[in-house]
Chain A
């Protein structure tokens, strides 16, 4: 009955809703938003005015100090004071800038730091591209080989003397690898055959299988041999580790800890999730013990206890001790992130892997870990950011990272007592780095969500 009625009526007269009227003029646009959200009530209006006033004076004060009244060139602090006692004295920071970046690395050798860092970045450059094959392989090669090149450039020395034979050989292999990687890239872009094809005709006489791979290895070894020859011909002035410092040292510690944290974390997390009681309890003990003490005590432990607990003839420099401590610490924190990811993987994934007949290792490496790591990217990035910030703690046990360099400016006879400007400067630096990393991680998170 009702149906019938409705039908009849609709046949007679169609209901046309009036389109909604646009908002009033006072509610639209930028001014409308401000009126609507900042001054919609008396209380809110007062709040807005108060906040705006405070903000205005804050910004004015900071800008006056940092820009308008600041002194950018002077020979010492007294001159700064004479020109403008109210403003910042950036001249001191500028004259110490080199020290803040390179520590006490000899001036004429600093190009090596630049080259080394650039090399590491160039190596990782292919990772930005989304389509390039073997991206994980490139990352692994970076972790395995780059440290040898880096250490050689930063430490210097002659092949066979300060630069050990194994170290030198690995550095040559690394350089050869990088060279072939980019050569192949360029060749394939030009539409030519890659270097890996070079030996194929020669090798095909002896072997039938795995020709490509063998050829590539042959090219690699050959180039590496040339590199060894090159390295033995030139010698870099040795730079002792205690001259490393500044932002450079901060990056070395953070970079090393970040790369080591993932493998250590994966092993510990898998151990903690293991059904075998011994492995489970051991991993859990390590994770919980390290996580419940402050980093500074772990650093003290590494510096004072490592020499006691290891054979007397083993010698360590402070940096090695610190690296051990920071890696252990970062690994334990990373393990908890990764465990979170492992727990979030639905059981079906394990069952599917078992159905395919995959063993434990294959299940983890091919199915579970890639998903777990991807799911935990925001947390892992957060851990990296706090790791970068925590590296400043090494200044407490006397490593000349950027923090200690900045504090040292106040002891310089020209800039006695200048604390504020260096601290502000490195605060801004850390802010830019950490904020950039967190924004990148947000970006990454969004991108990966789109991919799914």
Chain B
């Protein structure tokens, strides 16, 4: 106490010469400015809203939307409310970005590894793929795929087709789907239970194996029971399923599932774009491993696959996870660009159509931004957790 009071320049006079009081004054000024700014904005907003005869509130969400949405994964029709529109937008956004993240990560990882190939032809091809893709704006690529590739596909009657299962035309892609007599939730539960049971069985057997050096008979009995149960489940599922085949009736297809051309264009463009970014991340991660690790793995007689799986990838993961997280977050945000080709994602159905119809700019913008902020925080929280678990444990 005494020390700190002497070391602080308490003998200096004047409020502005004292560190502590200066901190307080500075913060007070900044806080007042911020509060004044907020007050200024809100005062103006309420005055402007009054002048225009508008009110602030979320009651408009209950109102019937009355417009159609070209494609949605969850059931929607124009008699539903703006709440439903909001959720349709969210689900479409999430579906698009999820597909992009999964496929983009796979392609990106492959390209990133090809980029490190000894074969100059292969590595240069991968390099120029990355350079070209990432130096052209995503919006141009999305519009390119939409107007140049997907819109010039043949009309429904002349669709490209794969047997009678799959039709591709300028409206989009029609695919054969399975229809289940029981609800999909139960089917998923059944499959999940089977997988978990098998995983548990192997895990238990492995711990037994490491302790005793041999497989227990319990493992084989368990495996038999599992196989019997799996056969029964398969039989049950096959009986419960029917195929829904798309067929041309009049001017349009009926049956099956439909993915609009705008989805295809946005998906392909975003996947290609994302894969280039991920390829660079993967390459940087692989190159961050010391060369000695390659050599050590080679020396103890590991094959290339073994050394990748057991030595190199586990170490590269540490350098890859943080930028990869960023990349995934960016693809969720980038999905908003699909608005340019009319794919009904959140910005398109809610920030454009709904805002034009209701005029509730403030509420709608805060809802949309709130959604994106929520997603960002969620993804970065989950991946930070995972990141913590793969980092080196140091004292």
Q: A interface vs B, CB < 8 Å? A: 33, 37-38, 44, 47-48, 51-52, 55, 275-279, 282, 289, 291-297, 300-301, 304-305, 307-312, 385, 389-390, 392-393, 395-396, 403, 407, 410, 419-420, 423-424, 426-427, 430-431, 434-435, 438
Contact of A300 with B143 in the complex, beta carbons under 8 Å: no
Given contacts A293-B333, A403-B140, contact A304 B122 (CB under 8 A): no
Nearest A residue to B23 by beta-carbon distance? A276
Q: Is B27 an interface residue (CB 8 A)?
A: yes
Which are the 8 A-B pairs with shortest beta-carbon distances? Answer: A292-B376, A434-B135, A389-B137, A294-B333, A278-B27, A419-B147, A294-B336, A304-B361
Contact of A47 with B45 in the complex, beta carbons under 8 Å: no
For the complex formed, measure the closest distance between the CB of A190 and the CB atoms of chain B, giving whole angstroms: 44
Partner of A305, one of B134, B329, B365, B377: B365
For the complex formed, measure the closest distance between the CB of A52 and the CB atoms of chain B, giving whole angstroms: 6
Q: Which residues of A contact B122 (CB under 8 A)?
A: 47-48, 51
Contact of A430 with B369 in the complex, beta carbons under 8 Å: no
Nearest B residue to A406 by beta-carbon distance? B140
Q: Which residues of A contact B27 (CB under 8 A)?
A: 276-279
| Residues of B320-340 contacting chain A, CB below 8 A | 329, 333-334, 336-337, 339-340
Partner of B135, one of A275, A276, A278, A435: A435
Given contacts A38-B121, A305-B365, A427-B136, contact A296 B44 (CB under 8 A): no
Contact of B135 with A289 in the complex, beta carbons under 8 Å: no
Q: Is B286 an interface residue (CB 8 A)?
A: no
Which residue, B51, B139, B376, has most C-beta atoms of chain A within 10 A? Answer: B139
Secondary structure at the B interface, as helix, strand, loop or mixed, is helix
Contact of A301 with B369 in the complex, beta carbons under 8 Å: yes
Q: Is B196 an interface residue (CB 8 A)?
A: no
Contact of A292 with B355 in the complex, beta carbons under 8 Å: no
Q: Is B362 an interface residue (CB 8 A)?
A: yes
Contact of B47 with A426 in the complex, beta carbons under 8 Å: no
A389 to B148, CA, bound (A): 20
Contact of B44 with A310 in the complex, beta carbons under 8 Å: yes
Contact of B26 with A276 in the complex, beta carbons under 8 Å: yes
Contact of B336 with A427 in the complex, beta carbons under 8 Å: no
| Residues of B374-390 contacting chain A, CB below 8 A | 375-377
A38 to B125, CA, bound (A): 13
Secondary structure at the A interface, as helix, strand, loop or mixed, is helix
Q: Which residues of B contact A403 (CB under 8 A)?
A: 137, 139-140, 143
Q: Which residues of B contact A396 (CB under 8 A)?
A: 139, 337, 339-340
Given contacts A51-B122, A296-B336, A438-B135, contact A312 B48 (CB under 8 A): yes
Q: Is B351 an interface residue (CB 8 A)?
A: yes
Q: Is B228 an interface residue (CB 8 A)?
A: no
Q: Which residues of A contact B45 (CB under 8 A)?
A: 308-309
Contact of A289 with B373 in the complex, beta carbons under 8 Å: yes
Q: Is B347 an interface residue (CB 8 A)?
A: yes
A279 to B372, CA, bound (A): 25
Q: Is B144 an interface residue (CB 8 A)?
A: yes
Q: Is B131 an interface residue (CB 8 A)?
A: yes
Q: Is B91 an interface residue (CB 8 A)?
A: no
A424 to B149, CA, bound (A): 13
A310 to B48, CA, bound (A): 9
Contact of A392 with B31 in the complex, beta carbons under 8 Å: no
For the complex formed, measure the closest distance between the CB of A286 and the CB atoms of chain B, giving whole angstroms: 10
Contact of B120 with A37 in the complex, beta carbons under 8 Å: yes
Q: B interface vs A, CB < 8 Å? A: 23, 26-27, 30-31, 34, 41-42, 44-45, 47-49, 51, 118-122, 125, 131-132, 134-141, 143-144, 147-148, 329, 333-334, 336-337, 339-340, 347, 351, 355, 361-362, 365, 368-369, 372-373, 375-377
A275 to B20, CA, bound (A): 12
Contact of A309 with B351 in the complex, beta carbons under 8 Å: no
Contact of B119 with A300 in the complex, beta carbons under 8 Å: no
Contact of A296 with B34 in the complex, beta carbons under 8 Å: no
Given contacts A276-B23, A277-B27, A292-B373, contact A311 B137 (CB under 8 A): no
14 A-B interface contacts by CB (under 8 A): A37-B118, A37-B120, A51-B125, A292-B375, A292-B377, A294-B372, A297-B368, A300-B351, A309-B42, A427-B141, A430-B140, A431-B136, A434-B136, A435-B131
Nearest B residue to A277 by beta-carbon distance? B27
Partner of A51, one of B121, B137, B138: B121
A410 to B147, CA, bound (A): 10
Partner of B140, one of A48, A307, A310, A423: A423
Partner of A279, one of B30, B125, B351: B30
Contact of A278 with B31 in the complex, beta carbons under 8 Å: yes
Partner of A296, one of B26, B51, B143, B347: B347
Given contacts A294-B336, A297-B347, A308-B362, contact A423 B144 (CB under 8 A): yes
Given contacts A392-B140, A430-B140, contact A308 B119 (CB under 8 A): no
Q: Which residues of B contact A423 (CB under 8 A)?
A: 140, 143-144, 147-148
Nearest B residue to A279 by beta-carbon distance? B30
Nearest A residue to B48 by beta-carbon distance? A308
Q: Which residues of B contact A282 (CB under 8 A)?
A: 30-31, 34
Contact of B119 with A297 in the complex, beta carbons under 8 Å: no
A435 to B333, CA, bound (A): 24
Partner of B137, one of A289, A390, A438: A390
For the complex formed, measure the closest distance between the CB of A292 and the CB atoms of chain B, giving whole angstroms: 4
A427 to B134, CA, bound (A): 11
Q: Which residues of B contact A47 (CB under 8 A)?
A: 119, 122
Nearest B residue to A271 by beta-carbon distance? B30
Contact of B373 with A308 in the complex, beta carbons under 8 Å: no
Which residue, A289, A308, A424, has most C-beta atoms of chain B within 10 A? Answer: A308
A148 to B265, CA, bound (A): 43
Partner of B361, one of A44, A308, A385: A308
